[in-house]
Amino acid sequence: MVVVTGQNKVSGNPDDAMSSSDAEDDFQEPATPTATQAGQALPLLPQQFPEVVPLNVGGMHFTTRLSTLRRYEDTMLAAMFSGRHYIPTDAEGRYFIDRDGTYFGDILNFLRSGDLPPRERVRPVYKEAQYYSIGPLLDHLEDIQPLKGEKVRQAFLGLMPYYKDHLERIIEIAKLRAMQRKARFAKLKVCVFKEEMPITPYECPHFNSLRFERSESETKLFEHHCEVDVSFGPWEAVADVYDLLHCIVTDLSDRGITVDHQCIGVCDKHLINHYYCKRPIYEFKITWW
């Protein structure tokens, strides 16, 4: 009697067959990782720092105590040297920070003893304090000149509509005119006026009544645009036209732009009755090279 089993007939071709060991491999537990694989998978151990820390900040060398770098725990330096992050070292074993080190000494002096930089270095040190997130140093610097004065100036400029946009327009117009004329400089007219209403010496007694008791139709009679390239104003503050001119020149100069200005008259456009526009017009000369 021939007995037929339930097993499939195995082909003679060994490539078409699956051995019992192959089948078992499909259900085996994952192999235990090698020592190398385990080292790659495991997180790095916390980095250990010496008590006296040698530093290389953008090529400039410093030495300080670890406790100094950790003076304020919510700063970037404290986080960098907490052991949670890896800090590379240079060929001499100094811990490397990829940042310009020109003012890093001022940062260390504050962390060591609370010393503040001299006035001429306040602005760049403030920038470094922002980068390293040193809040106490930022607070101290903001309370001294020139940063304290800058806060007051910015409060004034906050009243000025489209101030930054107007600065950009001055630059673009001056650049375009200089390029078109192949000239070293360009001139443009800028109107700077504090009061919305026209004022002349003989109009002052009537100014308040005109300002607050005008009808809507009368208001429109005074609305106009002076024939200038850029117009600043009006605003309500003690600071006057000359204060705003100083701001404009300062901000342009901070961008490396050489600018001279002079008053060349007033708009003098007739509005209504004996009223004329008396907004001052300034000629700005911007030199490009």
CATH number for the domain harbouring residue 133: 3.30.710.10
169 and 122, same domain (yes or no): no
Q: Determine the Cα–Cα distance for residues 153 and 245; give it in Å rounded to an integer.
A: 12
What is the reported pLDDT for 225? 79
Least confident range from 7-16, 68-77, 93-102: namely: 7-16
Torsion angle in degrees (nearest 10) through CA of 133, 138, 140, 146: 150
- Provide the token pair at 96: 């490397």
Q: Which domain holds residue 271?
A: 158-200+225-287
128 and 168, same domain (yes or no): no
In a domain, 8, yes or no: no
139 and 181, same domain (yes or no): no
Looking at per-residue confidence, does 213 or 162 come out higher? 162
In a domain, 45, yes or no: no
What is the reported pLDDT for 59? 96
In a domain, 220, yes or no: no
Q: Among candidates 237, 241, 240, 255, which has minimal Cα distance to 170?
A: 255
Residue 6 has pLDDT above 90, yes or no: no
For residue 196, give Cα distances in angstroms to 91, 219, 226, 278.
66, 11, 12, 10
Q: 275-276 and 258-266: which strand pairing? A: unpaired
279 and 190, same domain (yes or no): yes
In a domain, 271, yes or no: yes
What is the reported pLDDT for 197? 58
275 and 240, same domain (yes or no): yes
65 and 101, same domain (yes or no): yes
130 and 242, same domain (yes or no): no
In a domain, 213, yes or no: no
182 and 266, same domain (yes or no): yes
Domain count, the chain: 2
137 and 256, same domain (yes or no): no
Collapse the DSSP code of 10 into the 3-class scheme (helix H, G, I; strand E, B; otherwise coil) and give the result: coil
- How far separated are the first and last CA of the chain, in Å rounded? 112
Mean pLDDT for the chain overall: 82
Residue 207 has pLDDT above 70, yes or no: no
Q: What is the mean pLDDT of residues 8-16?
A: 46
pTM over 0.85? The answer is: no
Q: Determine the Cα–Cα distance for residues 12 and 7; give it in Å rounded to an integer.
A: 15
- Model confidence at 21, in pLDDT bands (50, 70, 90)? very low
In a domain, 244, yes or no: yes
278 and 165, same domain (yes or no): yes
57 and 173, same domain (yes or no): no
The secondary element (H helix, E strand) that includes residue 287 is: strand 280-287
CB 33 within 8 A of CB 48: no
131 and 165, same domain (yes or no): no
In a domain, 3, yes or no: no
Looking at per-residue confidence, does 91 or 27 come out higher? 91
In a domain, 183, yes or no: yes
Residue 154 has pLDDT above 70, yes or no: yes
Q: Determine the Cα–Cα distance for residues 173 and 9; give it in Å rounded to an integer.
A: 90
Q: Of 121, 144, 167, which one is at a domain's C-terminal end?
A: 144
Helix 147-157 vs helix 135-142: angle between axes, to the nearest 10 degrees? 70
